[in-house]
Structure 1
Amino acid sequence: MADHYEVLGVERDASPEDIKKAYRRLARQLHPDVNPGEDASEKFKLVTHAYDVLSDPEQRRRYDMGGDQSPFGGGGAAGFGGFSDIFETFFGGAQGGGGGRGPRPRSRRERGQDALVRVTLQLGDVVFGTHRDLEVDTAVLCETCQGACTQPGTSEVTCDICHGSGHVQRTVRSLLGNVVTSQPCTVCHGHGTTIPYPCGTCQGQGRVRARRTVSVDIPAGVESGLRLQLPGSGEVGPAGGPNGDLYLEITVEAHDAFSREGDDLVATLEVSMPDAILGATTTIESLDGSVDLEVRPGVQSGDVLTIKGRGITPLRGSQRGDLKVGVHVVTPTRLDHKERALIEEFAKRTKDPGPRLAEHQQGMFSKFRDRFRH
C-alpha cells in the first residue's frame, strides 16, 4: 500500500493545515468531473483515502506507529516472532498466509424503518369495526432502478481500495509484535463496491419519498391507546430492503350520550316523576338503531335497565356486551298552584314520614356506578 504522506506529497511532520491544503490541491486536479481519465480516478481514490487517515488525529497516530518512525524499526517482528504469530491469528490478518477470514462487506440492503399513524375513531366504529384508507408519507421502492441504486444499464463495481472486502487492513508494529488492524473502507463505506453511476431518480438510495394509500380493516373492540401492528406496511429499506412495520395508534372520541365500560355501553335515561311512579314505555336511539325500553312502575334513581347484546363486540371475541341504561328521576322545580296542591294531597295520602338517612353507608352515586358494573 502506498505511503499516505507520499500520496499527498507532504512531509511526515506536516501540520493538519498543510495536509488539508495538499488534499484540496490534488482533489481539484484529479476529481473525475475535471479529469475523467481512469488513471486520475484511481489516484483520486488514493488521495481521498490518504486524507481520511491523516486528517483524523487518532488514525494518523496509529498509522505513524507502523511507519518508518517506529521506535522498533524493522527488527521488531524478529524479536517477538511468537507474539506476532498469535496476534496475526486472532486479528485475522497474517499476510500472504491463512488470513482468509476477515470482516464481510456490509450489504446495502437494509430493513426499512417502522412507521406510526394516529387514527381517530367514533364510538360506533368501536362497536362494529371499520375500514379505513390511510394516506401515509413514507419511502417506497424506486421505480427507475427497482432498488439497484444504479442507473439502468449500469451496475456496482468492486472497490479498488479494499478489493471488495469492505475493510482495509494495516499491520501495526508494537511491543508485542505485528498487530493487524481492520477498519471500514472509507471509499466504499464498508460495502465492498462503489456506484460509479447512481440512479438519478433516487440518488443511489434505491427508494424515494412518496405518499401511498394503506387500506386497513380496524376490528371492533379497540380502545384509546391501543396500537395495531401491520407487518410489512412500513417504509421500504435502503437499496430495496424489506419493509418495516406500520403501527396504528387508536384514539376514540367521546360520545354525547354513550360511554364504554369494558364491553358494555352505558347511558343515562332521564325519567319524569309521573313516569317513574306509573311506569312508561319509550324508544331510545342506540348506536345500531332504535330500541324499545320499558320503565317499570316505581323505578328509582340509580336503577339500571339492561338491553342485552347492544354493547361492544370484544376485540378477540364474537359475543357483544350489553347496553346498560341508568335511571335518573327528574324532580320538577317549578309547579303552579294546582300542581302543588295535587302533590301535597298525594303526600298526605302516602303518610310519608319525611326525609331520613338511608340505612346503608353507600351513597347514591357510587351505588349508581356499581350497578353499571354488574
Structure 2
Amino acid sequence: MAKRDYYEVLGVGKNASDDEIKKAYRKLAMKYHPDRNPDNKDAEDKFKEAKEAYEMLSDADKKAAYDQYGHAGVDPNMAGGFGGQQGYGGFAEAFGDIFGDIFGQQAGGRRGNGPQVYRGTDLRYSMEITLEQAAHGHEAQIRVPHWDECDHCHGNGAEPGSSVETCPTCNGVGQVRVSQGFFTMQQTCPKCHGSGKFIPKPCTKCHGQGKLKSQKTLEVKIPAGIDEGMRIRSSGNGEPGINGGPPGDLYVEVHIKPHPVFERDGDDLHCQMPISFATAALGGDIEVPTLNGRASFPVPEGTQAGKTFRLRGKGIKGVRSGYPGDLYVHVAVETPVKLTESQKELLRQFDRSVHEGGSRHSPQEQSWLDKVKSFFS
C-alpha cells in the first residue's frame, strides 16, 4: 500500500515550523499510544505512521530530501534514498557536490586515489520513561550494537595464512568508469564494493568483514524537562565507518508513558480534581497532587463544575528555558450517590429553600430558564 504524505499524516502544512510539527506528533502519539489502546491494531499502525512521519520531518536533512523527492528521497531501499550508502553510486557520485548539499552528508569521500570512505550509519534507540523521570531527569543503561575487531583475522578480513590483495578490477581505487552514451561516470567497483581490496580467502569467523557484532552497555543521562519525541545524541556510537570512515552517531529517542493523573502540554501539566458538592458550595482548602508532592489551595464558595485553577510553578521545569511551567487543576463537582432516605429528604428540603430564594442562589439555572422562555415565546 502506498505511503501517505508525511505532512498529511501529522495534519500540518509544508511550511509548518518545528514546534508545530512536534506538537502535532505529540498529540497523535498521546491519542494512539499502544498503552492507551491495547489490542488495537489500527491505533498501533497510526502510532507507527505518526512516529515515522515525525522522524523524517523533524530531521532537517531528511525533511529537505523528502520535500524535493518525496518518499523516494528518504527510502533507503530505493536508488538515491536518504541514508543509504550504495544509493549514491553512479549519478550521485558524478554530481557529488550537488547531492552533498541536498542530503547533508555525502556518500563518501576519497583519500587521494584510494577507495571511497564512508561515514557509518546512525543508529536509533527508542526509550520509554515515566513522566516523573522526564520531569526530574533520569540515568539509564541501554544495550546497543557494537562491533569488535575479529580476534581470528585481527581485523584484516583474511583467513590466517592468506593475504589481502589489491582489487584487480579497480586497481585499488574502489571505483570504475562506466561509459553511457556521451557520458562517462564513476561507479562503485562491483567486485570490491568500494574497498579497493580483494580477499581470496575470507576469514571463516567474520566472513571477511574484519569485525564481529556484539553488544555494549551505555550510560544515558536524560536531562530534566525532556519532552516527548526529543532525541539525545551519543557521538560515535553508531555503526562503524567503511574503509576507515568515521563512525555514525547513536540517537536515543525518548517517549513518555501516559500518566494516570497528569496530562502534559509543553512544560504545563493538567489534572482533573473531583470535589464534593459541599466543598463547591461552601468553599474550602483542597489538596492536589504535584510531581513534587502535595499542594493545597483555596476553593472559593460557589465554585462551578469545570472551573480551572492555575498553580504557578507547579509544572515541569523546561529543558531549554530552565523555568517551570504551571499546573492547571480542572474541578469536577461530584454528585453524591447511594443516599439514604434521610439524606435524600435533607436534599429535598435544601432544594426547596434554594428555589424559594430565587435566582440569587442559582444564577446559571435562572439564566437558562429565561432563555427557554424567550425561545418559546
**What TM-score, normalized to structure 1?**
0.56
Higher relative contact order (CA 8 A, sep 6+): 1
Per-residue deviation, 1:208: 1.8
Per-residue deviation, 1:147: 4.6
Aligned mate of 2:326, from 310, 322, 327: 322
- Give the aligned residue type for 2:132: G
1:281 equivalent in structure 2: 285
Question: What is the correspondence of 1:95-174 to structure 2 with a 5 Å cutoff?
Answer: 104-107=113-116, 109-136=117-144, 138-142=145-149, 144=151, 147-150=155-158, 156-159=164-167, 163-166=171-174
- Give the aligned residue type for 1:290: R
Unaligned runs of 5+ in 2: 1-111, 372-377
Q: How many residues align?
A: 252
Aligned mate of 2:226, from 222, 239, 254: 222
- Give the aligned residue type for 1:121: I
Q: Deviations over 1:24-80 (max 9, x none)?
A: xxxxxxxxxxxxxxxxxxxxxxxxxxxxxxxxxxxxxxxxxxxxxxxxxxxxxxxxx
Question: What is the correspondence of 1:46-85 to structure 2 with a 5 Å cutoff?
Answer: none
- Give the aligned residue type for 1:104: N
2:239 equivalent in structure 1: 235
Separation (CA, whole Å) in 2 of partners of 1:238 and 1:167: 14
Per-residue deviation, 1:244: 1.1
Unaligned runs of 5+ in 1: 1-102, 362-374
**RMSD (CA atoms):** 3.9
Separation (CA, whole Å) in 1 of partners of 2:342 and 2:157: 90
Separation (CA, whole Å) in 2 of partners of 1:297 and 1:143: 75
Question: What is the correspondence of 1:1-374 to structure 2 with a 5 Å cutoff?
Answer: 104-107=113-116, 109-136=117-144, 138-142=145-149, 144=151, 147-150=155-158, 156-159=164-167, 163-166=171-174, 188=192, 191-195=195-199, 198-239=202-243, 241-350=245-354, 351-353=357-359, 355-358=365-368
- Give the aligned residue type for 2:123: A
C-alpha change, 1:149 and 1:238, in structure 2 (3 Å) is farther
C-alpha change, 1:314 and 1:166, in structure 2 (3 Å) is closer
Q: Deviations over 1:61-103 (max 9, x none)?
A: xxxxxxxxxxxxxxxxxxxxxxxxxxxxxxxxxxxxxxxxxx9
**What TM-score, normalized to structure 2?**
0.55
- Give the aligned residue type for 1:114: D
Separation (CA, whole Å) in 1 of partners of 2:263 and 2:189: 61
Is the contact made by 1:133 and 1:216 (CA closer than 8 Å) also made in structure 2? yes
Is the contact made by 1:105 and 1:167 (CA closer than 8 Å) also made in structure 2? no
Is the contact made by 2:172 and 2:197 (CA closer than 8 Å) also made in structure 1? yes
Is the contact made by 2:202 and 2:208 (CA closer than 8 Å) also made in structure 1? yes
